[in-house]
Amino acid sequence: MDLDRALTISASGMTAQSSRLRVVAENLANQDSTGTAPGADPYRRKTVTFERHVDRATGAESLRPGRVGTAPGEFPAHYEPNHPAADERGYVRTPNVDSLIEVMDMREAQRSYSANLSVLETTRGMLQRAIDSLRA
C-alpha cells in the first residue's frame, strides 16, 4: 500500500538524518583530540553520505546512511613545544573540525528530521482516518 511505503520512506529519512547527527556529535566531541605521540595525526573530521535503497519487497525507494568517510584537508598547527604531540619543531597539529560547519550541519539535519517527522504524522493521520471509516 502506498501509505505504508510513505511511512517507510519517511522513517528511512529520519534514520539517515539521525546518523548524520551522530557523526556531527562525534566531530564536535573530538574537536580538540590531538595525537598522543610526537608528530602523530590528530582526529580527522568524519563525513556521512546517504545512498538510495530500494526495498525489494515493497518497491519503496528509501534512503539509508552510506559509508562514513573522512574529510581531507590540512590540519591546522600551532606552536606549543610542551605538548606531548609536538613535533621536533614544537608544532602541534589539531583536528580539521570547524565548529561553525558542524553546527550548520546539525541545524540542517534537525530541520530535515522534523520535516520527515511531520510527513510521517500526516501519513499516519491519513491511515487512521481510513481505518476509522471502516468503523462508521
For binding to other proteins (CB under 8 A), which residues are involved? 1-3, 5-7, 9-10, 12-13, 16-17, 20, 50, 52, 54, 56-63, 108-109, 111-112, 115-116, 118-119, 122-123, 125-126, 129-130, 133, 136
Q: How far is the CB of 119 from other proteins (least distance, A)?
A: 5
Residue with Cβ nearer other proteins (20 or 44): 20
Measured from the CB atom, the residue of 3 and 103 that comes closer to other proteins is: 3
Query: Which of 24, 92 has the CB closer to other proteins?
Result: 24
Q: How far is the CB of 26 from other proteins (least distance, A)?
A: 18
Alpha helix (H) ranges present in the chain?
A: 2-29, 99-135
Query: To the nearest whole angstrom, how small is the minimum distance from the Cβ of residue 54 to other proteins?
Result: 8
Question: Bridge-partner residues for 78, per DSSP?
Answer: 92
Asked if 115 and 14 touch (Cβ cutoff 8 Å), the reply is no
* Torsion, Cα of 20, 22, 28, 31 (10° steps): -100
CA-to-CA distance for 99 and 92, rounded, in angstroms? 19
In the bound complex, what is the minimum distance in angstroms from residue 52's beta carbon to other proteins?
A: 8
Rounded to an integer, what distance in angstroms lies between the CA atom of residue 104 and that of residue 90?
A: 33
Q: Which is nearer to other proteins, 29 or 54 (CB)?
A: 54
DSSP state of 92: E
